[in-house]
Amino acid sequence: MKVVDLRSDTVTQPTPAMREAMMAAPLGDDVFGDDPSVNLLQDALAAALGFEAALFMPSGTQSNLCALMSHCQRGDEYIVGQFAHTYRWEGGGAAVLGSIQPQPISHAQDGSLPLAEIAANIKPDDAHFARTRLLALENTIGGKVLPLAYLSEASRLALTHGLARHLDGARLFNAAVACAHEFGHDPYAAAKGICSHFDSVSVCFSKGLGAPVGSVLCGSRELITKRAHRWRKMTGGGLRQAGLLAAAAHHALEHHVRRLAQDHALARHLAQGLQGLDGVTVEAPQTNIVFVDVAPAKAAGLLDHLKSRGVLATGLYRLRFVTHLDVDAQGVDRAIAAMREYFEGV
Ligand SMILES: *Cc1c(COP(=O)(O)O)cnc(C)c1O
């Protein structure tokens, strides 16, 4: 029985076509800037998203860290959400390695950071305070898509106060696919539209896009070549024949963006299939992540039960199911059946 792994969209295997692209990639030493496949990916993503330059990174964590350290100096501060990956899930790297103070604020229900809260947390120029330098947002955040009107207003607010704007777009293309209807159904145009509100954007290729490794940080030529590149080297991210990996990401950029719509459809299908189960509350998914709240009394044996039926998820009282390239409709139906069996005994 093939396991239906819904723990994360990071568990995907490279497709045969992706492996072929990797095998065929021309390679060079990227520390010398000589790897044509890395350069191709960087140039393609920068152009697609409307930035001057881009830099291939081993991970999204490193990409966000290099971005924060490129925007902020020691003693500066960035405004960020309580549940943002850059703040909560990256080991406190910006504070530890960058001496950058986070100013976390609570999210609104839709995942956004309320503008009034952002404004209230921008410090005056006074020796008592850290210097507020950057607004860092995340899209999608917890699978939710930040509204375009919000991005535009948050961006204007940041600019008014002289703050730089960074987007953790680990799942930028999930957000883009979800709002593509506002861009003539073109997800690439939607991604560019989202990015137009930011000075830098970090995109993960190892999530829904299905590449084995890699993120790319986009920004101005100055930010990328003068600052981020130095931080990447210092944090140990200078790679040699990295084109092998960049080729997988480039393949994903060309072939795995539009198909994210299928993941979103399967997530909706899963949520519908769980609707109405006694002891289960399902949040309607906007992209590829389904959150399911489980009555505490019923939570204990659930993950083991699912596992015994060949279905993997994460969480306890709040389960997370993530659809991706290696999950199909039958897999989702198996997950629904296993959940029904557990909660209804059928
Ligand atoms: C996964 C993720 C990252 C970091 O990715 P790694 O490649 O695992 O370091 C950053 N931000 C968000 C929102 C993510 O989901």
Looking at ligand 1, which atom is closest to the CA of residue 206? Answer: 7
Ligand 1, atom 4: nearest CA belongs to which residue? Answer: 60
Give the tens place of pLDDT for each residue, 256-282. 999 999 999 999 999 999 998 999 999
199 CB under 6 A from ligand 1? no
What's the CA gap between 100 and 123, in Å, rounded? Answer: 14
- Looking at residue 1, its pLDDT comes to 78
Q: The sheet that has 164-169: what strands, in order across it?
A: 53-57, 215-219, 200-204, 164-169, 131-138, 76-81, 101-105
Which residues, other chains included, contact 297 with Cβ-Cβ below 8 Å and sequence gap of 6+? 279
Of 88, 140, 168, the one to substitute when testing ligand 1's pocket (max ligand atoms within 8 A of C-beta) is: 168
Ligand 1, atom 10: nearest CA belongs to which residue? Answer: 60
- Rounded to the nearest angstrom, the distance between the alpha carbon of 86 and the centre of ligand 1 is 8
61 CB under 6 A from ligand 1? yes
- Rounded to the nearest angstrom, the distance between the alpha carbon of 309 and the centre of ligand 1 is 29
- Looking at residue 172, its pLDDT comes to 98
Torsion of CA 326, 7, 237, 259, to 10 degrees: 30
Give the tens place of pLDDT for each residue, 320-335. 999 999 999 999 999 9
211 near 257, Cβ under 8 Å? no
Structure tokens at 260: 């994210």
The amino acid sitting at 214 is: G
- Looking at residue 295, its pLDDT comes to 94
Question: pLDDT exceeding 90 applies to what percent of the chain?
Answer: 98
Residue 136 φ/ψ, nearest 5 degrees: -115, 120
How confident is the model over 189-215, as a mean pLDDT?
98
Question: pLDDT exceeding 70 applies to what percent of the chain?
Answer: 100
- Looking at residue 346, its pLDDT comes to 55
- Looking at residue 10, its pLDDT comes to 98
How confident is the model over 294-299, as a mean pLDDT?
93
For the domain made up of 15-255, give the CATH fold. Aspartate Aminotransferase; domain 2 (3.40.640)
pLDDT band at residue 345 under the 50/70/90 scheme: confident
Query: Is the pLDDT reported for residue 192 higher than 70?
Result: yes
Give the tens place of pLDDT for each residue, 59-105. 999 999 999 999 999 999 999 999 999 999 999 999 999 999 999 99
Of 7, 9, 61, 171, the one to substitute when testing ligand 1's pocket (max ligand atoms within 8 A of C-beta) is: 61
- Portions of the chain given CATH number 3.40.640.10: 15-255
- Rounded to the nearest angstrom, the distance between the alpha carbon of 85 and the centre of ligand 1 is 7
Ligand 1, atom 5: nearest CA belongs to which residue? Answer: 60
- Portions of the chain given CATH number 3.90.1150.10: 259-345
206 CB under 6 A from ligand 1? yes
How confident is the model over 233-243, as a mean pLDDT?
97
Of 80, 88, 89, the one to substitute when testing ligand 1's pocket (max ligand atoms within 8 A of C-beta) is: 89
- Rounded to the nearest angstrom, the distance between the alpha carbon of 59 and the centre of ligand 1 is 7
- Rounded to the nearest angstrom, the distance between the alpha carbon of 15 and the centre of ligand 1 is 21
Give the tens place of pLDDT for each residue, 138-185. 999 999 999 999 999 999 999 999 999 999 999 999 999 999 999 999
Query: Is the pLDDT reported for residue 123 higher than 80?
Result: yes
77 CB under 6 A from ligand 1? no
What's the CA gap between 150 and 113, in Å, rounded? Answer: 9
- Looking at residue 272, its pLDDT comes to 98
pTM > 0.95:
yes
pLDDT band at residue 191 under the 50/70/90 scheme: very high
How confident is the model over 314-319, as a mean pLDDT?
94
Looking at ligand 1, which atom is closest to the CA of residue 58? Answer: 7
How confident is the model over 202-216, as a mean pLDDT?
98
CATH code at 259-345: 3.90.1150.10
